[in-house]
């Protein structure tokens, strides 16, 4: 390892950064765990940013999303994967059978005379900041959907993602603001992918209290997947944008698995719907015996 580190430092002194040097630097950042017990995920994310700018590789993008999940939490990582998966599905439709988007960000109309606001490259996010974010969308009269004990356990690992986090007062993680800026751009008309290019069946799964994709946003995104042969907008009760950490997470898992494993049934339904209007009635007035997988909104889980 010492020899490899020496070679990496020698390459860095040359002043010409390339793909292989960045890939070696990622491995070096992972090796830090061997010495300190914790990987430097903030450094790893920065390295993947640079590597992605050079390669535009989907594999690098996936690895970067993993780093984002470590530095900013699973919700941020999943948001990165949502946009990445949708872009891939649009560019390579023959390679995607079905697509599930959990709490996806939707496009909103451009605002006249207004550009997306900028943001600093980094900000420090404390545990109090994270707790406020986790509970802000739960109505005041409703019981908690996230266990404080679970949050406290998660919080220790969150601080572990930045080796310098506990040296700050209050303790906090240095987090890039890129995903936040991506959301602001989408809300100013600059969505990171074109939903109209996606040809696979799509399920949008979101929480009843998800403040980042309210009903109007979900309706726009649902309609924007105009080339998709089968679509569902699934709203799960008593859940927010962080449902994967909350009491209703098992409903999220069940709905995702059910949609991803129901291909044959959807294909048969699509064939049955040919020549019939959207109510499931054919031109002779015969009712189609369709199930809840038909195109439209699915019922909430209680």
Give pLDDT tens digits for 33-74: 777 777 778 888 888 888 877 877 777 777 888 787 777 766
Q: What is the mean pLDDT of residues 232-245?
A: 94
126's enclosing H/E stretch is strand 122-126
Beta bridge partner(s), residue 205:
102, 234
Name residue, tokens 């209050």: 170
pLDDT band at 282 (very low <50, low <70, confident <90, very high): very low
SS3 123: strand
Structure tokens at 200: 């696979």
142 against 11, higher pLDDT: 142
Over residues 92-131, the pLDDT tens digits come to 888 889 999 999 999 998 878 888 777 787 889 999 999 9
Mapping DSSP to helix (H, G, I), strand (E, B) and coil, where does residue 234 land?
Answer: strand
127-150 residue pLDDT tens: 999 999 899 999 999 999 998 998
- 28-37, 105-114, 288-297 — which one is most confidently predicted on average? 105-114
DSSP state of 19: H
CB of 244 within 8 A of CB of 252? yes
pLDDT digits (tens, 9 = 90+) for 149-197: 989 999 998 898 888 999 999 999 988 787 788 888 899 998 988 999 9
Of residues 108 and 19, which shows the higher confidence score? 108
| Candidate ranges 159-168, 173-182, 267-276, 283-292; pick with highest mean pLDDT | 159-168
> In whole angstroms, what is the distance from residue 156 CA to residue 158 CA?
5
Specify which residues 102 forms β-bridges with.
Answer: 205
Asked if 154 contacts 127 with a C-beta cutoff of 8 angstroms, the reply is: no
- Contact between residue 200 and residue 231 where contact means Cβ atoms under 8 Å apart: no
pLDDT tens digits, residue range 191-235? 988 999 999 999 999 999 999 999 999 999 999 999 999 999 999
Q: Let me know how long the chain is.
A: 302
Structure tokens of 2? 């010492």
| pLDDT at 300 (0 to 100) | 37
The secondary structure of 102-115, three-state, reads: ECCCCCCCCCCCCC
pTM of the model: 0.67
Cα dihedral sign, 170-176-177-182: negative
Task: Work out the pLDDT band at 285, boundaries 50, 70, 90.
Answer: very low
Alpha carbon distance 234, 224 (integer Å)? 16
Q: What is the pLDDT of residue 122?
A: 83
Predicted confidence at residue 117, as pLDDT, reads: 78
Angle at 206 between CA 200 and CA 212, to 5 degrees: 110
Cα-based angle 167, 173, 177 (whole degrees, multiple of 5) = 145
Which residue has tokens 């530095």? 71
């Amino acid at each position: 390892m010492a020899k490899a580190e020496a070679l990496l430092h020698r390459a860095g002194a040359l002043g010409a950064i390339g793909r292989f040097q960045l890939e070696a630097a990622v491995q070096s950042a992972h090796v830090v765990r061997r010495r300190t017990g914790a990987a430097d995920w903030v450094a790893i994310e920065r390295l993947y940013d640079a590597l992605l700018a050079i390669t535009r590789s989907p594999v690098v993008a996936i690895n970067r999303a993993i780093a984002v999940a470590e530095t900013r939490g699973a919700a941020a990582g999943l948001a990165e994967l949502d946009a990445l998966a949708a872009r891939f599905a649009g560019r390579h439709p023959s390679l995607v059978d079905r697509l599930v988007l959990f709490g996806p960000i939707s496009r909103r109309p451009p605002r006249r005379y207004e550009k997306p606001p900028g943001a600093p490259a980094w900000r420090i996010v404390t545990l109090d900041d994270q707790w406020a974010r986790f509970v802000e969308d739960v109505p005041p009269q409703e019981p908690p959907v996230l266990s404080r004990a679970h949050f406290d356990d998660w919080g220790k690992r969150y601080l572990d993602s930045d080796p310098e986090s506990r040296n700050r007062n209050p303790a906090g993680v240095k987090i890039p603001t890129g995903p936040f800026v991506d959301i602001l751009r989408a809300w100013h008309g600059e969505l990171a992918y074109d939903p109209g290019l996606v040809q696979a069946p799509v399920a949008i799964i979101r929480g009843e209290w998800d403040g980042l994709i309210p009903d109007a946003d979900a309706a726009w995104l649902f309609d924007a997947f105009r080339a998709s042969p089968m679509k569902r907008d699934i709203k799960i009760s008593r859940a927010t944008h962080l449902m994967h950490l909350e009491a209703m997470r098992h409903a999220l898992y069940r709905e995702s698995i059910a949609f991803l494993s129901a291909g044959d049934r959807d294909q048969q339904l699509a064939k049955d719907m040919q020549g019939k209007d959207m109510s499931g009635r054919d031109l002779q007035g015969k009712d189609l015996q369709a199930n809840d997988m038909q195109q439209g909104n699915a019922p909430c889980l209680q």
